[in-house]
Structure 1
């Protein structure tokens, strides 16, 4: 318990999911292709991004503390990601999927969650454009950084998916210096580009 709690508080020596770094087009974002990995996740609906993150974090922290069918303790990892599927309008609820990366020793056979609202998620390989920023993150800051990332991609003529998008945090609230936060936007694959083009042609 103390080791996991210590890792969560000080974010040191945590396992991260592996990725292949792409050519850096510009200094204000990077391209990463994440390998196939298992994550443990929970999905919440609501209007408040930060509230969803806090609730989701508590559920997943309970899972790694032994609230799973094997009753095993699982090492804390980083980052904690939050996938945001925005609602259809300003007053509509969004969906927030909060996730912990499953550490290497459990990747092949992750313990099944005991909480019916927590599930295992196998993420296929995907490419994301990533913008990194420091300090204490909040909903407004994440949205500002997301907008800056999209503006950079538009500047460079890069095709991307505008939703869903991700936020990633690497540090506990107790870490004061050298904090690391990220926003991720997914690369638009050729198949998606073709589908989008066909939809535009149908509208003409």
Structure 2
């Protein structure tokens, strides 16, 4: 099964580090007040519920006589994409996000049943990335952020956003097979 990923161009590669230019996309997100691992799990569950049908799509029902036209609702399943994004918002609050498939816009996405889910249109942007395998628990994420900060300094690049965790694999994949990244706008 193929899973959609956002399109990007690699501008520079240096071992496990890269600079990429991403095309724009729509991010579905939820802010969760919790510790790192709990926020990631709760945010994932809320967003997974949204893409698996806990949403409403407005559909026009054809006008028939003598009835008047009505607007009906149905649910829609949205294909899963990777990566799942997580970034700190403020102390103890994390934003977890799913990148929506490229065929959707802010106007065409179904309305979530969960009112805490929001959407942001992310324009084309450039990021620096460090790739790593294994589990993405908070100590490992902090370590990789430190490595990426050092690499940025050594390459005269300035971070222009918060550092984000990008997870590419479902939780049942063994840690040593998992693909994770830390990314930051530059």
TM-score normalised by the shorter chain: which range applies? 0.7 to 0.9
Q: 1:106 to 1:157 in 2, by over 3 A?
A: closer
For the pair 1:50 / 2:37, whether they are aligned, the reply is yes
Equivalent position of 2:108 in the other structure: 109
Task: Give the structure 1 partner of residue 72 of structure 2.
Answer: none
Distance in 1 between residues matched to 2:12 and 2:127, nearest whole Å: 12
- Cα pair distance change 1:95/1:124, threshold 3 Å: farther
How far is 1:23 from its partner? 2.5
Cα offsets for 1:39-59 (capped at 9, x unmatched): 21111234x111111010000
CA distance in 2, matches of 1:121, 1:69: 18
Aligned positions of 1:55-204 closer than 5 A: 55-70=42-57, 71-85=75-89, 87=90, 93-107=91-105, 109-161=108-160, 163-176=161-174, 177-187=176-186
TM-score by length of 2: 0.83
Counterpart Cα distance in 2 of 1:174 and 1:23: 32
Unaligned residue ranges in structure 2 (runs of 5+): 58-74
Instruction: Indicate the structure with greater strand content.
Output: 2
1:17 aligned partner: 6
- What is the TM-score of this pair, normalised by structure 1? 0.76
Structure 1: gaps spanning 5 or more residues? 1-11, 88-92, 188-204
Which structure is higher in helix share? 1
**Inter-partner Cα distance in structure 2 for 1:158 and 1:128:** 10
User: Stretches of 4+ moved more than 2 A in 1?
Assistant: 104-108
Q: Deviations over 1:63-105 (max 9, x none)?
A: 01111112111111100001223x4xxxxx2331111111133
Cα distance 1:156–1:104, how it changes in 2: closer, same or farther (>3 A)?
closer
SS at 1:82's partner residue? strand
- Name the CA distance, whole Å, in 2 between partners of 1:59 and 1:16: 20
